Structure 1
């Protein structure tokens, strides 16, 4: 039963009490998540720019798609293991799009330091703390007019409360949302080292709320004008398009925290324009050993065979003109564990 799609399992909960109890157990949820990881049970949604609208039904605790003009388009702020943090009007929710279950996150106002304006840059990340089986939302608020002071708060799904942790010790993140891999949330940041300005990957370890940074891969002496980070198969990746050789690259951190373990996969992108590859190139997921699903352009998604260096099964969905995200189909609940 743990290999079945979430939609089927939601129906089976009404068959009998024993099935409802089984499917509702956190142990079953974790087993189903692992099956999804092993079986490439992947879904796709959009971070912004599309006309999707949702309405929150307080009586059922669910967010449902709606055509009502009074509803508000959602904005995805962070995601992890099939669980999303979304903004709907002025409220934040933890939301599982497969089960449609949602929980409203209690409001926690940004606390502005003395002398700061009422404006702040805010960055989010959602990750999983394995030791307590807790999903945690990180909110980083940065106040540029007060010597780049910061406020970092973490919301715990299990305690349903916010807590304050140490200040973010880096400059403004250049990537959003935070990427979860190997128990940590990651952002690209700029740092000054010996009078030299360069980029690194900053990380927040959710097990002990500590910060550190990871060196980026060796780009051959020339940093790409645009690059981003993501996660594939639980590993941190850096990806970008290079106009100098007309190809895109995916760097995979094989051993988390060890800069020398970056390995490169080079992907030809000559089937789309250089502008489209620059703007839209994005690895979405590993399909099976040696094959990767990538987004090539505004309207093209394809499988890429790494060893044979060729594309197969090229798809051209009708709506792709906005930022995509792939996510695992899961039963992970937005509600606190009992």
Structure 2
């Protein structure tokens, strides 16, 4: 079957239409199995072969089955690398505030990481004053956020495989007329998948700035295209002062996660706040003792299939980062330090972007280069150019989501 799949994909629309028109020699269920193994770009072409194929490929069940198959471990572990570049003064007819965005896909399985690098732009969509971030990636979709100084966030969900995106409606609090002292509030966002209802959700928490609080919670459903406030018990927490913008999040084991803090009298304890996307309930996961013993910076780290935390600290005037993973979800004793590294290595490490499923680490060096660190071989491999302003790396699979919806298409 794999040989036939490769032949069909190579010959693209002509071969597949010829097979369909002639009635084919394969049972329908085998043909469906073949189609589910093809990438989204090929399937988009095949929707124009005939009405029956269009109906099959755009069916919700086919889209769901295609995603399930794509996410199987034997299909490899891919990462999405996003770069935001400011134009140089040498570029003619380009305004200094017009960012240029690039994305690359690379596989952690291949001996030679091959890239599919494409240029795209959200500049026209993000015209509010403020700063842009990537909330996260989940099952083939990417959630972008543009945070403004007027306490409003523009959110976009994008499928790179299909070049389609949707712009989310305004959040509930942003539409309200309440006189809020905005400087007192902080925002947490997360992006996850509701496996029970086959729905993508964005979670938004509004909490007091650097004060222990029980936040307002809002959930956006991509299926219903709407926000709603939910009343649910949330563990008391506050966001540490070092989290200047939006804290990192990670979707794993059906929940989204953030690293937050809680005060016990004069003591401060760090822990992981979780939100179950299906049940829409909050929980908390304790961190290992070592991560609460000394002054340090903690954040959730994108990557792999395990909950990961980045720990940055100083010891004897030397700065280090370490990566801890929870090898058995929910079991505090399973927290394990998988890597520790001097920040002066490799010419100086500025940012740790992600941990891959195979234990490699995506780094941003002080030189501006983005590299893939292989701790086993103690080697780094270049992943991106050096002329960028911001970068994000996260797990990625190809998805057909949006293929059956009328959405905006992002020009490349």
TM superposition score normalised by structure 2: 0.65
Task: Give the C-alpha shift of residue 48 in structure 1.
Answer: 8.8
Matched residue of 1:121: which SS?
strand
Larger RCO (CA under 8 A, 6+ residues apart): 1
Change (3 A) 1:336 1:77: farther
Answer yes or no: is 1:217 the counterpart of 2:288: yes
- Which residue is equivalent to 1:117? 181
Task: Give the C-alpha shift of residue 198 in structure 1.
Answer: 1.8
Answer yes or no: is 1:65 the counterpart of 2:117: no
Answer yes or no: is 1:44 the counterpart of 2:55: no
- Which residue is equivalent to 2:250? 179
User: Are the aligned partners of 2:84 and 2:388 in contact in 1 as well (CA < 8 Å)?
Assistant: no
Matched residue of 2:196: which SS?
helix
Answer yes or no: is 1:153 the counterpart of 2:218: yes
When structure 1 is superposed on structure 2, of 18-27 and 227-236 the one drifting more is 18-27
User: Are the aligned partners of 2:137 and 2:394 in contact in 1 as well (CA < 8 Å)?
Assistant: no
Change (3 A) 1:157 1:315: closer
Structure 2 residues not aligned, in runs of 5+: 1-34, 88-98, 103-118, 406-412
Q: Which has the higher strand share?
A: 1
User: Are the aligned partners of 2:172 and 2:218 in contact in 1 as well (CA < 8 Å)?
Assistant: no
Change (3 A) 1:285 1:15: farther
Q: Identify the match of residue 324 of structure 1 among 392, 398, 404.
A: 392
- Which residue is equivalent to 2:138? 80
Task: Give the C-alpha shift of residue 47 in structure 1.
Answer: 7.3
Q: Structure 2 CA distance, aligned partners of 1:47 and 1:178? A: 20
Q: Structure 2 CA distance, aligned partners of 1:75 and 1:126? A: 13
Q: Which has the larger radius of gyration?
A: 2
Task: Give the C-alpha shift of residue 91 in structure 1.
Answer: 4.0
Q: Structure 2 CA distance, aligned partners of 1:66 and 1:92? A: 15
TM superposition score normalised by structure 1: 0.78
User: Are the aligned partners of 2:238 and 2:262 in contact in 1 as well (CA < 8 Å)?
Assistant: no
User: Are the aligned partners of 1:247 and 1:267 in contact in 2 as well (CA < 8 Å)?
Assistant: yes
Matched residue of 2:360: which SS?
strand
Q: Which has the higher helix share?
A: 2
Q: Structure 2 CA distance, aligned partners of 1:33 and 1:161? A: 28
User: Are the aligned partners of 1:127 and 1:183 in contact in 2 as well (CA < 8 Å)?
Assistant: yes
Matched residue of 1:331: which SS?
coil
Structure 1 residues not aligned, in runs of 5+: 55-63
Task: Give the C-alpha shift of residue 7 in structure 1.
Answer: 3.3
Answer yes or no: is 1:272 the counterpart of 2:346: yes
CA RMSD of aligned residues (A): 3.7
User: Are the aligned partners of 1:101 and 1:333 in contact in 2 as well (CA < 8 Å)?
Assistant: no
Matched residue of 2:260: which SS?
strand
1:91-170 superposed matches below 5 A: 91-110=154-173, 116-118=180-182, 120-144=185-209, 148=213, 150-165=215-230, 166=232, 168-170=234-236
> What do residues 130-153 of structure 1 show as CA deviations (whole Å, max 9, x unaligned)?
111211110112245998463210
- Which residue is equivalent to 2:116? none
User: Are the aligned partners of 1:2 and 1:35 in contact in 2 as well (CA < 8 Å)?
Assistant: no
Q: Structure 1 CA distance, aligned partners of 2:331 and 2:300? A: 16
Change (3 A) 1:256 1:46: farther
